[in-house]
Structure 1
Amino acid sequence: MDLYSEYYVSKKCERFVNKIWHLDNSIGDTTIKNKLVLPNGCFNLAIVSGISIEVHTSKKKYVMDNGFYFCSQMTNTVLVNIQPRTKVTIVQFHAWTISMFPSYDLSNFTDSIIQVNRKDLPFKDIIKPTLHNNTSALLDCMNSYFEELFFLNPNKNLIEKICEIIQLHNEEINVSEIGETLNFSQRLLQIKFKSATGLTIKKYIKILKLRKSIDQMVNYNPKGLNLTNIALYNKYFDQSHFIKDFKDVTKISPKMFNPDLYFLSKKR
């Protein structure tokens, strides 16, 4: 059984949900220690089954036993320890998804995790935390809910438009240019975006850009790519700028990066 596995939702649901992934130590007899997760500009709903998972963010340590947990945007590498007979199922939401629920103000909610009650979640028939969770049932639940949300919201809201513009420009755009495109003031854009995500637009762009660079290091012939090439390809000012951003998030230099220590996205 693979410790890390990924599952994908329907095309319409994918507008809101990036993917579903598992961290599965349900048949293990020992704790899986010191695994790392990189920030990626997404929110996560974690469904913990079994004993517990221990998560260290830049702010504090969280011990998560059976239940549902909402994980904020992370700005630094997260350390994870998974107890034996424990399974974590994670629904990964795009940065704009939570803005579909405007009653939530996440301005000061980063690098944090809160437990949530199952009854307070908007999804019908979401699976209960058990070691034998049915992934197909969870996929059906997510597809059903978010496909309906897709049809109820044919027009993109401001946060989704901001993220779309950033993606279309391959993270090579600033707040002023986004404001001109959307005909909004920079100040209003920043307030709206931070309230919906907890991040500034600049920080969000920085996270996406660095994550893309790291994925490139891992997936695209890493032996043939030096740091200068990676920095230039991803439009960093120079190698030093890339190394600085890398250290800010991971607390290590790129040359010390060991992919085997991380839970990294599979290459689609």
Structure 2
Amino acid sequence: MQLYSEHYVSQKTERFINKIWCLDNSIGESLIENKLVLPNGCFNLAIVTGNGIEVHTSKNKYEMNEGIYFCSQMTNKVLVNIQPKTKVTIMQLHAWTLSMFPKYDLGNFTDSILKIDASELPFKIEINIDIETLLETINLYFEELSNANPNKNSIEKIADFIKSNEDISVSEISLTLKSSQRLLQIKFKAATGLTIKKYIQILKFRKSVDQMVNADLEKMSLTEIALYNKYFDQSHFIKKFKDVTKTTPKMFDPDSYFLSQKR
């Protein structure tokens, strides 16, 4: 049995959903403990079945029994313990997806997890939903959402600017969008829980980690990775890396983490 797996949504749905990933210990007889997850600039909607999981964020410890949970943006690594006979199916939502539902103010909601009722979701899912039905359900809903909203709102535009240029400043974004920096900052934090600067830092960090994991470090030095990902130098990169992982790039063990598969 494969503990970690990834499942991909339709091209149109990818505007709002990055992917679905599963942690499957449903036929396991032993506790899987001390696995780690890194921040990636996304929200997560988690469906837990079975005996449950324990999650340690930088703010709190969460005992997640069977149910549906909304996970905020994470700014540090998260530790996960998965009970035997347990499966977690996780929908990874892009940072701007929640801005499509303006009644939610997430300005003070980071490194946190909240249990929710299925009736609170805009699409209908059940706890024991299989992956094929889940993909069908969310593709239908988010494709319709995309069709109904062909124009990007300011949060999605900000994220697009950052994705295409991680060195872009808030002042440059505000000039392009013809909006004040203060207003953009307030809107972005209310929609994501993050400042624009923090969001940029998280994306840069994950990009560098993915590059470290997928590159041959014998051929690519830490300095090259640091400069490629727009850090000032190797020391700056190591400092930011330690802020999130509490270890150095040289001591980083990918096998301890649930990391994205290379697509």
Under a length normalisation based on structure 2, what TM-score does the superposition of the two structures give? 0.99
Distance in 2, matches of 1:58 and 1:202, equals 19
SS at match of 2:139: helix
- Per the alignment, residue 20 of structure 1 pairs with 20
- Per the alignment, residue 98 of structure 1 pairs with 98
- The residue type equivalent to 1:149 in the other structure is L
| Residue in structure 2 matching 1:180, options 139, 154, 175 | 175
CA RMSD of aligned residues (A): 0.8
* Equivalences for residues 58-77 of structure 1 within 5 A: 58-77=58-77
- Per the alignment, residue 147 of structure 1 pairs with 143
- Per the alignment, residue 41 of structure 1 pairs with 41
Distance in 1, matches of 2:229 and 2:119, equals 43
Is 2:216 the counterpart of 1:221? yes
- Which 10-residue stretch deviates more, 243-252 or 67-76? 243-252
Alpha-carbon distance, 1:175 to partner:
0.9
Distance in 2, matches of 1:150 and 1:221, equals 39
| Residue in structure 1 matching 2:254, options 245, 248, 259 | 259
Distance in 2, matches of 1:212 and 1:71, equals 21
Q: Which ranges in structure 1 are unaligned for 5 or more consecutive residues?
A: none
- The residue type equivalent to 2:232 in the other structure is F
Q: Which ranges in structure 2 are unaligned for 5 or more consecutive residues?
A: none
- The residue type equivalent to 2:181 in the other structure is Q
* Equivalences for residues 187-266 of structure 1 within 5 A: 187-266=182-261
- The residue type equivalent to 2:93 in the other structure is F
Distance in 1, matches of 2:139 and 2:28, equals 31
Alpha-carbon distance, 1:146 to partner:
0.2
Distance in 1, matches of 2:120 and 2:202, equals 30
- The residue type equivalent to 1:205 in the other structure is I
Is 2:103 the counterpart of 1:107? no
SS at match of 2:55: strand
- The residue type equivalent to 2:206 in the other structure is R
SS at match of 1:150: helix
- The residue type equivalent to 2:169 in the other structure is N
- Which 10-residue stretch deviates more, 108-117 or 231-240? 231-240
Distance in 1, matches of 2:217 and 2:122, equals 42
1:216 touches 1:222 (CA, 8 Å); kept in 2? no
Alpha-carbon distance, 1:221 to partner:
1.8
Distance in 2, matches of 1:239 and 1:141, equals 45
- Which 10-residue stretch deviates more, 176-185 or 159-168? 176-185
- The residue type equivalent to 1:145 in the other structure is Y
Alpha-carbon distance, 1:48 to partner:
0.1
Alpha-carbon distance, 1:237 to partner:
0.5
- The residue type equivalent to 1:172 in the other structure is D
Is 2:3 the counterpart of 1:3? yes
Alpha-carbon distance, 1:194 to partner:
0.2
SS at match of 1:28: coil
Alpha-carbon distance, 1:178 to partner:
1.0
Task: Provide Cα deviations, 1:107-149, integer angstroms capped at 9, x if missing partner.
Answer: 000000000001111103x1x223xx41110000110000010
Distance in 1, matches of 2:244 and 2:175, equals 30
Question: Which aligned runs of 4 or more in structure 1 are off by greater than 6 angstroms?
Answer: none
Task: Provide Cα deviations, 1:70-99, integer angstroms capped at 9, x if missing partner.
Answer: 000000000000000000000000000000
- The residue type equivalent to 1:177 in the other structure is E
